[in-house]
Amino acid sequence: MRYADYKGKNVLVLGLAKSGVSAALLLEKLGARVLVNDVKPLSESEEAEKLLERKIRVIGGTHPVSLFDEEDFDLVVKNPGIPYRNPMVRRAQELGIPVITEVELAYQISEGEFIGITGTNGKTTTTTLIYEMLKEGGLSPLIAGNIGLVACEVAQEARRDQPIVTELSSFQLAGIDRFRPKIAVITNIYDAHADFHETRENYVSAKKNITKNQLESDFLIVNDSVPECREIAESSRANVIPFSAEKFLEEGASVKDGFICFRGERVAAVKDVALPGRHNLENVLAGVAACKLLNVPNESIAKVLKTFRGVKHRLQFVKNVNGRLFYNDSKATNILATKTALSSFDRPVILLAGGLDRGYDLSPLIPSLKNVKALISFGQTKHQLREIGEKAGIEKLAVVDNVEEAVKKAYDFSESGDVILLSPACASWDQYKSFEERGDIFIEAVHRLE
């Protein structure tokens, strides 16, 4: 672990969860005086108990701004999900106290170099693909970040020769200072997280942070089909590597004559790629570019592309039940993700959708419903989605209470050869703790059909 000078520093960790606990434990190891604050009462938090056992101070049940009058903090480490309009964060900024996220800590202590992947959609798939291809190519990569493994935990174990493949959300990137990935990837940029960032400009700016500290010796891999990606590339000091599924790029990653190419060299046949959908072809191109920069052999890349069938909850094939193909795309928490999923299939689809009502107009889904033969809706948006189904001319429509009922109804509506797709177009928090829980319940319901 690389040395980081936190000995004797007063640090406030805002928010528990996995990243807050890991940050607090790391800071204590580095010699800092740590105070953790979470809005959840201590009696309801197993994480708080873990820290209190280590004699780390924890204040729960409220966010007391008065702490800044009582303590002389040198730094605030914020849980990525806490918005910058939070009174504690605002007070820290007013006082000129740096506010970072734990991925910044990870960078400061890591021996290994980072490969950072961000974007509106495709982050997890691209991150996992790169990790698998590097591993197949004989490297010893680690995987971390928004994918579920806390970066500052993983970074403590990294050797100098181990790249850390890290999925990075806009929430994490908004709180970096010196973080500098050797290779940065931006899969795409679309509208998302307006409730957190407040403006699209703020959202794009957070994504742009992935390259703000890069130098000429680093690499920035960007989607050439997305205007904001091209604009970010123009202002970056890094060596820019574009990718495109739409046109051939002599100096980037693209497709020509049925082959995935990097800088004109054939790497693998498109027909051999196991992941369905054009959007996944873009993820593949981004991943191939990153791995070729690290000299992974073509055979290793091709082998992974033939066998990699996706990440759980991201257009994940679940099971063939009497000729019906079930796919779990619970991670599709916005309209664009569901439109992308629907475009991946050229056979009849029965769509399961619905969830948290954020006040968005869901009618932009209508043009993508041409192959949808039945729509089963649930959650807070279930009636809005039924109306959309009527406008799209879908004959079979049903409103149900939850995902389990949706699976049963979908099977009743289906016949052999149909795709039954959970792609909700909405967040899960009206009924489920997370999109993962929603997806797991879908999978369990599918397996119970037989």
User: In angstroms, how far is CA 41 from the centroid of its own chain?
Assistant: 29
121 annotated among ligand-binding-site residues:
yes
Give the residue from 253, 363, 274, 375 showing the smallest Cα distance to 316.
274
122 annotated among ligand-binding-site residues:
yes
- 46: Cβ contacts below 8 Å, ≥ 6 apart: none
379 annotated among ligand-binding-site residues:
no
Instruction: Say which DSSP state 113 is in.
Output: P
- 342: Cβ contacts below 8 Å, ≥ 6 apart: 349, 351, 368, 369, 371, 372, 421, 423
338 annotated among ligand-binding-site residues:
no
Give the span between the Cα atoms of 389 and 394, in whole angstroms.
5
334 annotated among ligand-binding-site residues:
no
Sheet-wide strand order for 33-38: 57-60, 33-38, 10-14, 75-78, 99-100
The C-alpha angle with vertex 29 and arms to 24 and 33, in degrees rounded to 5, equals 60
3 three-state secondary structure: coil
* Partners of residue 242 on adjacent β-strands: 222
Which residue ranges make up the annotated binding site? Answer: 119-125
Residue ranges of the binding site for ATP:
119-125
